[in-house]
């Protein structure tokens, strides 16, 4: 009798109370995990946006340095080094080819992908006929090295271009940079572009996950120059080569991983707007962001 009375006085939880406690704990844990997931995803998205913006600015700064140098000529003047006062290097422009030209800035709109050494005619095909990526820009400027008795006056051609990347079915583009040097000794009447000098390189990747590179030449009034300046048989296009006073640059990049939870649809696509007629619609889950800047050319023409 005493044993039964003792058992009645012991406190505890019923099965129903235990189940209720488990349910409440599960709900709290689920809420905490959901909150963590949302915060972590938001942090990742902010980080991805920052990475795209930062890398875009880095490439723009590189391009700005080169574009501002376009057309630069070094003048030594009277000297005791026995060097010419001004550059003796041959200049090829006008009706020559783009690959051989020494014109300060040449922009190829919606160009064939990749880079071809002077004389080659085998551009890389694009992913499809409707592909608008990417423009290609060539920048030429001079320099000087008094320690080089063979060729003190230097000339360089910088080319920014894109090539396709197919990474396990993930078709995209990457941006590349090539540097060539004009080799012409003091006693030579002509020279040639080479890509194997100490300062040269071909196909140095500077950024992956590229969507588009767009370059638009502007005149002294800030208007788009038409026809597009380039060497060749078109006289108007040749004349426009020395009307360039600035270049509008748009670089668009894509996130490495899928960014959005859902893909877009035909009625509400995700648009990437271009400077001209280069707007594109995308329906996947990737984030795309553009960096736009106007770069003034300091060494082409006058009255800038």
pLDDT tens track for 21-61:
888 888 888 888 877 776 766 666 667 666 667 777 888 89
For residues 126 and 121, which has the higher predicted lDDT (pLDDT)?
126
Bridge partners (DSSP) of residue 107 are 137
H helices present in the chain, as ranges: 2-8, 15-69, 235-239
For residue 121, the model assigns a pLDDT of 44
For residue 164, the model assigns a pLDDT of 84
**Surface-to-core class of residue 216, CB atoms within 10 Å of its CB (0-12 exposed, 13-18 middle, 19+ buried):** buried
Apex CA 71: angle with CA 68 and CA 75, to 5°? 110
Is pTM, for the whole model, over 0.75?
yes
Of 206, 248, 203, nearest to 225 by C-alpha is 248
pLDDT over 80 at 10, yes or no: no
- How many CA atoms within 13 Å lie on the side-chain side of 72? 20
- Percentage above 90 pLDDT, the chain: 43
């Amino acid at each position: 009798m005493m044993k039964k009375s003792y058992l009645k006085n012991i406190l505890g939880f019923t099965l129903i109370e235990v189940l209720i406690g488990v349910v409440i704990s599960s709900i709290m844990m689920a809420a905490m995990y959901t909150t963590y997931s949302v915060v972590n995803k938001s942090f990742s998205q902010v980080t991805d946006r920052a990475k795209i913006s930062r890398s875009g600015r880095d490439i723009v700064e590189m391009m700005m340095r080169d574009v501002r140098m376009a057309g630069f000529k070094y003048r030594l003047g009277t000297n005791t080094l026995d060097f010419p006062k001004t550059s003796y290097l041959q200049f090829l422009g006008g009706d020559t080819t783009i690959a051989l030209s020494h014109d300060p800035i040449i922009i190829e709109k919606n160009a064939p992908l990749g880079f071809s050494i002077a004389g080659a005619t085998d551009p890389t095909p694009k992913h499809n006929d409707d592909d608008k990526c990417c423009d290609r820009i060539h920048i030429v400027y001079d320099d000087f090295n008094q320690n080089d008795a063979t060729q003190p006056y230097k000339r360089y051609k910088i080319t920014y271009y894109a090539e396709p990347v197919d990474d396990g079915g993930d078709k995209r583009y990457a941006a590349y940079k090539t540097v060539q040097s004009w080799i012409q000794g003091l006693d030579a009447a002509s020279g040639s572009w080479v890509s194997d000098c100490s300062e040269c390189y071909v196909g140095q990747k500077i950024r992956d996950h590229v969507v588009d590179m767009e370059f638009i030449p502007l005149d002294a009034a800030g208007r788009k120059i038409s026809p597009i300046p380039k060497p060749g048989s078109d006289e108007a296009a040749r004349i426009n080569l020395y009307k360039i006073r600035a270049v509008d640059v748009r670089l668009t990049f894509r996130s490495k991983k899928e960014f959005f939870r859902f893909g877009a649809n035909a009625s509400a696509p995700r648009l990437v707007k271009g400077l001209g007629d280069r707007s594109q619609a995308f329906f996947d889950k990737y984030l795309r962001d553009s960096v736009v800047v106007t770069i003034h050319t300091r060494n082409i023409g006058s009255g800038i």
